[in-house]
Amino acid sequence: MYTLVLKKGEEKRADKHPWIFANTVQRIEGKDAQGSVAKVVTSSGRLVGYGFINHASKIIVRLMTRDETPIDRALFLSRVREAKVQREALGYSDNYRAVFSESDGLPGLIVDKYRDHLSVQILTLGMDLRRDMIVEVLREVFSPACIYERSDVASRLKEGLEERKGLLYGTLDPALTITENGLTLAIDLENGQKTGYFLDQKETRAAIVRYASGRRMLDLFCNQGGFSLNAAKGGAREVTAVDVSESALAQVEKNAALNGFSCIRTQKEDVFAYLREQKRAGEKYDLIVLDPPAFTKSADTVKEGYKGYLSVNAAALALLQKGGVMFTCSCSRFMTIPLFLKMVEEASALAKCEVKLLEVRTQAPDHAAKVSLDDALYLKTVVLMRV
């Protein structure tokens, strides 16, 4: 077994956070395989914990335990079961995040449940080497009809792993649907964003219903149209869903038809270009949703990411009717709530308008993160009214 001895003073962070960075390690003793269980101790020899080691990653160890509990199938089974119990206690059953990586004590493993299908992301070497065991545990806890892997994410490259996706168990239903907020949604596990669909926004999508009645809506970076569909359910008179992805817009149209909504139309276009066109045309909207991909994914790119959020928010606010409501979102943990609110203030000044803050929302409770983690509030949505 490898034993990693931390530099003096590094134990303060290591005692709170499950990531052990390579540059915090004074020395490594012993020898074992990459992805094996390693021991981490302070400079004085006190136990910090045990976790999976990977020399290829800047995060050299991801801790699993803080004591001598064996890291084996029984531990995985216990933690997956506990994660399921926690979600069910919150009222989730049909579709929800079943395992959320470090927050459920299983760093590098994400499992989303879509009815009787499970979509799995395996992001780290330690978890990758235990894929077969993970499938066995998921089968025992959930008895799913299908387990589909969506490990086609660039972050695996940092672990020395290739991107991968494919069937792990059972049969994939190409006509899979779930129920969200009373809506029927077709889900594409094979090619949809992330694990198939953005489950973390479901509570905020439900919240748009109260603002939607009779309004003309613009849904920017609409993806599969969750906000559009919920607004239509809430009585929006006209909805325009804009995205650059043809496959995403095809899902919007499919789901609109499934729910009998005729008020939704799709527009394939770059959002920045579309906003410029709409301003030139003098168009105005009563309800706008702005839910872009993360413009900043590291501390080094926050400044440029801030500019991107500022530009698109100012352009969207310029199209918002007086008395209109805008939902503006960021899924980057580096765009903190105070920084995001500062950006909104600057964007409203650029758009020459005043706004009121109606709500600040975060990810749905099935995506709850431990407060000690850096991404505890990775998703935030600010709801504004132009006055």
Looking at the annotation, which residues are catalytic? 331
Cβ pair 95, 114 in contact under 8 A: yes
Question: Torsion over CA of 186, 192, 195 and 198, rounded to 10 degrees?
Answer: -70
| DSSP output for 228-260 | HHHHHHTT-SEEEEEES-HHHHHHHHHHHHHTT
| Spatial separation of the C-alpha atoms in residues 134 and 137, rounded to whole Å | 5
Question: Torsion over CA of 205, 210, 216 and 217, rounded to 10 degrees?
Answer: -10
| Spatial separation of the C-alpha atoms in residues 40 and 235, rounded to whole Å | 56
**Which amino acid is residue 337, in one-letter code?**
I
CA 122-78-139 angle, 5° bins:
60
Q: What burial letters (b/e) apply to 252-291, b meaning 16+ CB within 10 Å?
A: bebbbeeeebebbebbeeebeebbeebeeeeeebbbbbbb
Q: Which residue has the tokens 């095809």?
A: 250
